[in-house]
Structure 1
Amino acid sequence: MAKTLKEAPITTANARSKLGAGEYPRRLDAEAAVWYRIGKRGGVWFARWRNWGPGANYKQVQVGPANDLNDKPTEGLFTFPQAEARARQIVDQARRGAKAAADGPVLTVRLAVEAYISDRDARESRRAGRTIRSDASRRLSRYILGQEKRGKQKAIPAEPLADVALHALKESDLLEWRDRLPETLKVTAKQRTINDLKAALNGAYAAHRLRLEPTLPAVIKHGLKAQQSDDDDAVPLARDNQILSDAQVGALLAAAREIDDEQDWDGDLFRLVVVLAATGARFSQVVRMKVGDVQRSQGRVMVPVSRKGRGGKSGNIPVAIGKDVLDALLPTVTGRKNDAPFLERWRYKQVAGGIRWVRDGRGPWHSPSELHRPWHDIRERAKILNVIPYALRHSSIVRGIRANLPIRLVAALHDTSVPMIERHYGKWIVDGLEELAARAVVPLVPVRDGNVVRLGVGS
């Protein structure tokens, strides 16, 4: 094209008015040009470029009708600068598509999400010691990939975003997908879904960055960045009704003991709730504890660090507990090896040909869902409605704040960060500091007593 292309004066409406019927080019680069075609019904812009892939030597796409009246922007008509900019976009997108196809199967959002789901499912299965489906798989299948009809559950169609090629992904594609998320979806659930998609797309870029545009990370970052909300609309992590007093925690533990006895848990349910309340740790942390993590002589337990965040984390957090808690845990550690799972429960199997279930050995707790049904009974017995197991963690954090422990220590004991504590528990931090500040208040105004003036300090 560079050797034979003869450019024409088509940059202004006045210049185009002097041309006869035909096609006239203006170069974009060595292998692409924007063309102006004039006929009986007016002028039209189109882009033409050398095809880098298989097929014809050249390709062309219409840009739109030309504004041959003047050089002012007009709705539905293109001036030369507008046509040139649009033609560059068309050529650039086509070239990126051809390059992506030449490098192998075109990478799409669907492929990125499926790869991410496979990795998450494999990781969660390794941790659980059995094949399970991750929460990310459920969220991304429901809100991006779609899913088939299951029983009474209707089929969910895939999102248009799923079939967008990564080399052509735009911020607008991600923003439009976000806007289509159900309004009934909780803020936290919506953010987790967004974070899963962000991780999937970033993972695809890391694995195939030689095939993708270097601008893709910026598209992902800005298209899926956390949106700011007004303070009135913000949903705090720790709601007031989930911060329990010591008496309420005691009531839950008493109820847990009763439900444990009534439902033949053999102490397993009670001990799990005791550890959650005493440590303020997450369920996923306490179920990974070993018998050797209970150090009775030091009056503490060693809680494994969480698996949240990037990179592999290891180690344990020492958490001091009382003698009452250690006594409650004594049956679990007596006569057992240090590397054995600390918290276990009975497993059941159904008798063949019947409806009766019998015990089939003991093993560690696997999922928070195993606590769902007995916890409902526990809170009903304790008469603390709507309280969730995570309230034990909230309450432990606030208990440390109210005890005027340094915020950094509270964060370390609960395997979280100071900014997270300040963001979600700021109200209780302020209350604790206000109490400390009140203790520093002393009388300052002199008191008159006849002719003697008595001062409040040092008098």
Structure 2
Amino acid sequence: MAKTLVEAKITTPSARKDLPAGLHWRGLDREVHLGYRKGKRGGVWLVRWRNGVGYKQAPVGIADDTIKAGNLNFQAAEKAARALVERERQLAASEAEGPALTIAKAVADYIASRDDRDAKRAGRAIRSDAARRLGRHVLGQPARGKEQAIPATPLAGVTLYMMTENDLQAWRASLPSTMKATTRQRLINDLKAALNSAYNANRAKLLPSVPAIVKHGLRAPEHTDEAEPVARDNQILSDADIARVLRAAREVDAENDMGGDLFRIVLVLAATGARFSQVARIRVSDCQIAAGRIMVPVSRKGRRAKSGSITVPVGRDVIDALVPVATGRSPDAILLERQRYEQVKGIQWQRAGRGPWQSAEMVRPWQAIKERAELPDMIPYALRHSSIVKGIRANLPIRLVAALHDTSTAMIERHYSKWITSGLEEMARAAIVPLVPQDDGARVVQLRGGA
């Protein structure tokens, strides 16, 4: 026969003061009891709950017998105790269904899905950028050639059920200080996506607080500015600079016998301000010669599948440069392709047909272009930055600039506010009216030296 719980008066410091030293209980429900253990210098809270034929017990915190930061009154202890019991019960149920889900498993599953997605887009097996970043900074990787093995981080062994904000913050703090801010943010976004994906797939086994833990645990510390400006001054190219880039692209193209493929893709990047991933998917039917425009596919950014195109008007010179690859081809064919080669018989190479551009194939040509153009710090994204700023300086509505570049007005305002202010200065100046009152009978004084 179960014993009847004798409840003690432990709800206030004054009531607990009269209790003898030892352990005292008060029921929170039929199977959960909040305990107060009184010692010589104050007491502590603990909780016990029914576990089969017996009880399990765990500490909760220090009681507020003395006023001190972190000490818990009865109500706070009750809330913490209930949360602890709920967490332990869900953990037990989760373990009963199978092995605990670790962060390493969540990251590995996410990498597999990213690799599969990128492989379908490319039409061949490839390793995604997320795989390289997360492999190096979370899962670890074996030795490869001259590269030494990288051990897994402590975070990899943490279970999602027991994960805390401190675990994520410690991992973030351990990242190399030399890592670029943009690389750091991409890595953090990859880990955030992996953890949220694992939560969505295992919601019945995990606490509902996991998304909040991920959000706050991976947030940048207060009073820091880790995000470097997306559009730096040296990445905003003048019309003369862009002309030098295109001239250099044409020369590098000719020297490497690329048949105009390199020049055309750099030209379209400059003319549309689109991302490389969008330009690489433009089809022949998207180049509307008579209308003088290019229909740029929408970005694949975000979790939701998107379709459609963005109408971008371009100059007749751009259209004329694209006519050779847009005429006489299937409307569904990729507009901008490049010659592919395969290695045969040791060191010999032979042509292996044409195919869409891949981002990795732009690395070496771009290095040659920026050296030839004498713009050593220029990145490919500079063409997009420059296109956006050009639209702002032309006093186009910010909403139109955002729409033409497949982004949001919030993003434009956040990263290009400097140019919005300077670009609209003339419009603001035109609205200036004289404010200082003038007397109708003011006497005109001839200045010495005047006409």
TM normalised by structure 2 equals 0.85
In 1, Cα distance between the equivalents of 2:315 and 2:25? 85
**Residue 195 of structure 1: aligned partner:** 189
**Residue 51 of structure 1: aligned partner:** 51
Q: CA deviation at 1:172?
A: 2.3
Cα offsets for 1:305-359 (capped at 9, x unmatched): 111123111111111111111111121112211111101111111122x212222
The range that moved more, 173-182 or 277-286, is 173-182
Q: CA deviation at 1:234?
A: 5.3
In 2, Cα distance between the equivalents of 1:376 and 1:339? 31
**Residue 343 of structure 1: aligned partner:** 336
**Residue 386 of structure 1: aligned partner:** 377
**Residue 328 of structure 1: aligned partner:** 321
In 1, Cα distance between the equivalents of 2:105 and 2:181? 26
Residue from 155, 163, 183 that aligns with 1:161: 155
Cα offsets for 1:118-161 (capped at 9, x unmatched): 21111111111111111222222222222222222222222222
2:31 is the counterpart of 1:31: yes
**Residue 361 of structure 2: aligned partner:** 370
Going from structure 1 to structure 2, the CA distance change for 1:165 and 1:320 (only over 3 Å counts) comes to same
Going from structure 1 to structure 2, the CA distance change for 1:322 and 1:81 (only over 3 Å counts) comes to closer
In 2, Cα distance between the equivalents of 1:145 and 1:405? 47
User: Matched residues, percent identical?
Assistant: 59
Query: Do the aligned residues in 2 keep the contact of 1:147 with 1:158 (CA within 8 Å)?
Result: yes
In 2, Cα distance between the equivalents of 1:420 and 1:74? 45
Cα offsets for 1:20-40 (capped at 9, x unmatched): xxx76554543344667899x
In 1, Cα distance between the equivalents of 2:37 and 2:221? 46
Going from structure 1 to structure 2, the CA distance change for 1:391 and 1:9 (only over 3 Å counts) comes to closer
**Residue 118 of structure 1: aligned partner:** 112
In 1, Cα distance between the equivalents of 2:282 and 2:350? 27
Query: Do the aligned residues in 1 keep the contact of 2:87 with 2:207 (CA within 8 Å)?
Result: no
**Residue 300 of structure 1: aligned partner:** 293
In structure 2, the residue corresponding to 1:416 is in which secondary structure? coil
Pairs within 5 Å for 1:209-248: 209-225=203-219, 229=223, 235-248=228-241
Residue from 10, 16, 19 that aligns with 1:15: 19
Query: Do the aligned residues in 2 keep the contact of 1:299 with 1:326 (CA within 8 Å)?
Result: yes
The AA in structure 1 aligned to 2:380 is: P
Which sections of structure 1, spanning at least 5 residues, go unmatched? 454-459
Query: Do the aligned residues in 2 keep the contact of 1:9 with 1:16 (CA within 8 Å)?
Result: no
Query: Do the aligned residues in 2 keep the contact of 1:2 with 1:30 (CA within 8 Å)?
Result: no
Query: Do the aligned residues in 1 keep the contact of 2:273 with 2:384 (CA within 8 Å)?
Result: yes
2:397 is the counterpart of 1:406: yes
Residue from 180, 185, 198 that aligns with 1:204: 198
Query: Do the aligned residues in 1 keep the contact of 2:43 with 2:65 (CA within 8 Å)?
Result: no
What RMSD over aligned residues (CA atoms) do the two structures have, in Å?
3.6
In structure 2, the residue corresponding to 1:339 is in which secondary structure? coil
The AA in structure 1 aligned to 2:19 is: A
**Residue 457 of structure 1: aligned partner:** none
In 2, Cα distance between the equivalents of 1:171 and 1:224? 8
Cα offsets for 1:382-414 (capped at 9, x unmatched): 111111111111111111111111111111111
In structure 1, the residue corresponding to 2:130 is in which secondary structure? helix
Going from structure 1 to structure 2, the CA distance change for 1:73 and 1:347 (only over 3 Å counts) comes to same
The range that moved more, 73-82 or 437-446, is 73-82
**Residue 184 of structure 1: aligned partner:** 178
Pairs within 5 Å for 1:282-301: 282-301=275-294
In 1, Cα distance between the equivalents of 2:127 and 2:149? 19
Query: Do the aligned residues in 1 keep the contact of 2:182 with 2:227 (CA within 8 Å)?
Result: no
Going from structure 1 to structure 2, the CA distance change for 1:448 and 1:161 (only over 3 Å counts) comes to same
In 2, Cα distance between the equivalents of 1:444 and 1:12? 73
TM normalised by structure 1 equals 0.84
2:353 is the counterpart of 1:361: yes
In 2, Cα distance between the equivalents of 1:422 and 1:245? 21
Going from structure 1 to structure 2, the CA distance change for 1:421 and 1:38 (only over 3 Å counts) comes to closer
Matched residue pairs, number?
A: 439
Going from structure 1 to structure 2, the CA distance change for 1:449 and 1:248 (only over 3 Å counts) comes to farther
In structure 2, the residue corresponding to 1:161 is in which secondary structure? helix
In 2, Cα distance between the equivalents of 1:159 and 1:375? 35
Which sections of structure 2, spanning at least 5 residues, go unmatched? 446-451
Residue from 408, 425, 440 that aligns with 2:416: 425
In 2, Cα distance between the equivalents of 1:229 and 1:240? 24
